[in-house]
Amino acid sequence: MTGSASRYPDVYAQSIRDPEGFWREAARGIDWFEEPRRAFDPALGIYGRWFPGGVTNVCHNAVDRHVANGRAAQPAIFYDSPVAGAKRTVTYGELQTEVSVLAGVLRELGVGKGDRVVIYMPMIPEAVFAMLACARIGAIHSVVFGGFAAAELASRIEDAQPKVVLSASCGIEPSRIVTYKPLLDLALTMAKHQPEACVVFQRPQVEAKLQPGRDHDWAALREKAIAGGMAAECVPVEATDPLYILYTSGTTGKPKGVVRDSGGYIVALRWSMEGLYGVEPGEVFWSASDIGWVVGHSYIIYAPLLTGCTTVLYEGKPVGTPDAGAFWRVIEEYKVAALFTAPTALRAIKKEDPDGVLMRDYDRSSLRTLFLAGERADPDTVEWAQNKLDVPVVDHWWQTETGWAIAGNPVGLGALPIRVGSTGVPMPGYQVDILDEGGHPVGADRMGSIAIKLPLPPGCLPTLWRQDERFRESYLEEFPGYYKTADAGFKDGNGQLFIMGRTDDIINVAGHRLSTGGMEEVLAAHADVAECAVIGIHDELKGEVPCGFVVLKAGVVRSPADIETEIIALVRERIGPVAAFRLAITVNRLPKTRSGKILRGTMKKIADAEPWNMPATIDDPSSLDEIAAALNARGLAKVSAA
Ligand code: COA
Ligand code: AMP
């Protein structure tokens, strides 16, 4: 099904035939202080390392290089915050100044190459300065999403062991102000590891209380650094040095620290901007995500800035800030060429403005392509967007682990015809196979586990932070020679991929990746709970929402409704509001196999009103009727959590 005009077939074939030559050529898109010895060395690391011997600096490539090349006056960031009522344009010249001053502040606080810095901040320009300032001095940042609870922040601090934490007084949600500092203080009472310093940016909405000795006022340090001429220059780092750690949900409550290297990542991102997204230097790119997620790291910050684009930093929602026309306003105002968002955002807009009336109020002529990722894009929503917006809607598939798309429609190489429901074809360097349980590739149109042949291309994780063994066990052991994506799906006869769901207990709630295993750990910690099961059930808006079933301990006489309320509060307290855990149901027992395995898959099918077969190994078939009855009693056969 390849479009005759597309260069994709040749480009992809070259990337597989001659990876060394392909990625060496791509590496010319960035500045090196010292050229790599070779593109890939299979003898290094766990499955090989990209660009060994190469010396570069990510901040130099994202900022200084553009200033030196005449982009000082070009906007680097359009910050737009309907929730704060604020807008700000930051040019590349200003970005260089701010980042080098903040890098100087970090250096004064003792942060050096390889030290970790946790960034717990909302979507404000200072958060971008913070990430780039770390990159400038070779420190490793670890950004924690604002919607997580203190305990999640604590576990990340414990694992990353940061020298410094950068934070802000608050985030702003449409319904409330999220005071970050008390959450940070609480997290630091939970973590054994203590940073040497916390630097807090005071937003006008809330003034955070600073703890003398440990906490510093961001603005005061900035002023002092400017007065003292403390700006820091870019330090050379190895291509294989980590740029960041980004924690993502694993199958237990303990998150996985995905490590991103420096050289391979920026080569891949730079290639993707032109090859996949079809966006050129000087254009405006908008990723309506959050800096706490991988999409934010790669496509709010690094890829657009590496390319000399202007990135939009939008602190708002697709609806309610103030209405479902918000995205179209931003496109008009900043002349956005490409928008990247999650399907759930479109579903939210479609729900409020099904006829696209608000779209007509804005000039969207700058928009060439809409990209979707983060969760399965349902064909209805894709078609709705395509019809209403009259631009190609490109679904593409990737994971925190890969850092950029595994598969998509390479618009920059000449778009292939769009097949709604498919996430397109593999990007350069990715050899994607569909495997059966024995690890053998299956034929076209057959469902299986999706795996990527090693080595992974540049940009993908080389390991998990200080957990090489967990990396091997989680991703490399089940299918030798492959990286296991833990997604299931199939390829059609033309090599187009269809991603149908996870093979583990990860669920996707409004584009946010969450572990039901992690939630079960929280439920099980309630004093009255004997056992529990959490499943993701279909939701019209969020794609999936978690639903927890609990069996109470014998002799508990308290009202199940009270216990359910406590459980819901507990998940919010331990994992955070982002879990959107609002459904807890008490049952007398859980359906199990004779060997005691909880039948979560069948429970999910019942909740989603999908066809299901009685599992041959079930202990007592009537236990499933009880689940159906419990769901029906709540009117939850097809639930919407909105
Ligand atoms: N800081 C603090 N809290 C946050 C937060 C943040 N950065 N982001 C979300 N939350 C909170 C919300 O306020 C909400 O809290 P509540 O229970 O008190 O209402 C909760 O987490 C759930 O948030 P969310 O799932 O985002 O639902 P929502 O109802 O606020 O908004 C959508 C629904 C569809 C508009 C929203 O989910 C959305 O824009 N999703 C896009 C997701 C996305 O871009 N993902 C990135 C992958 S590409
Ligand atoms: P995250 O690591 O948060 O980016 O989540 C990655 C997971 O989200 C993948 O493993 C998939 O299960 C899912 N996902 C991401 N993009 C898509 C897509 N385009 N279609 C279907 N599922 C997707």
| DSSP states of 276-298 | TS---TTSEEEE-S-TTSHHHII
CA 37, CA 434: separation in Å to the nearest integer? 34
pLDDT in tens, 79-118: 999 999 999 999 999 999 999 999 999 999 999 999 999 9
Q: Work out the mean pLDDT of the chain and round it to a whole number.
A: 96
- Listed in order, strand segments (DSSP E) in 553-641 are 583-586
* Pocket flag, ligand 1, residue 344 (CB < 6 Å): yes
**330 neighbors 80 (Cβ within 8 angstroms):** yes
| DSSP states of 54-72 | -EE-HHIIIIIHHIIIIIT
Q: Which two tokens stand for residue 483?
A: 């990286």
What distance in angstroms lies between residue 578's CA and the mean position of ligand 1's atoms? 6
The residue to mutate among 299, 394, 398, having the most atoms of ligand 2 within 8 angstroms of its beta carbon, is 398
Say what the pLDDT of residue 640 is.
Answer: 36
Q: Which atom of ligand 1 is nearest to the CA of 178?
A: 2
What distance in angstroms lies between residue 399's CA and the mean position of ligand 2's atoms? 6
Q: Which atom of ligand 2 is nearest to the CA of 502?
A: 12
- The ranges of the chain with pLDDT < 50 are 1-3, 638-642
Say what the pLDDT of residue 637 is.
Answer: 63
The residue to mutate among 177, 317, 381, having the most atoms of ligand 1 within 8 angstroms of its beta carbon, is 317
CA 354, CA 370: separation in Å to the nearest integer? 18
* Pocket flag, ligand 1, residue 578 (CB < 6 Å): yes
Residue 33 corresponds to which amino acid? Answer: F
The residue to mutate among 175, 341, 344, having the most atoms of ligand 1 within 8 angstroms of its beta carbon, is 344
Nearest protein Cα to ligand 1, atom 3: 147
Q: What b/e string do you get for 417-448 counting C-beta neighbours within 10 Å, with b at 16 or more?
A: ebbebbbbbbbbbbbbbbbeeebeeeeeeeeb
Phi-psi region of 216 (alpha: psi -120 to 50; beta: other; left: phi over 0): beta
pLDDT in tens, 562-589: 999 999 999 999 999 999 999 999 999 9
**What is each CA distance from 314 to 143, 210, 305, 552, in whole angstroms?**
17, 28, 16, 44
| Domain assignments of the chain as residue spans, ordered by start | 8-316+396-489, 510-633
| DSSP states of 369-411 | EEEE-SS---HHHHHHHHHHH-S-EEE-B--TTTSS-SEE--G
Which residues make Cβ contacts (< 8 Å) with residue 172, sequence separation at least 6?
A: 81, 83, 84, 122, 178, 205, 315
Pick the CATH number of 510-633 from 3.30.465.10, 3.40.50.300, 3.30.300.30, 3.40.1410.10: 3.30.300.30
Ligand with smallest separation from the Cα of 250:
2
* Pocket flag, ligand 1, residue 317 (CB < 6 Å): yes
Which pTM does this prediction carry? Answer: 0.95
Say what the pLDDT of residue 476 is.
Answer: 98
Pick the CATH number of 8-316+396-489 from 3.30.460.10, 3.40.50.300, 2.60.40.1170, 3.40.50.12780: 3.40.50.12780
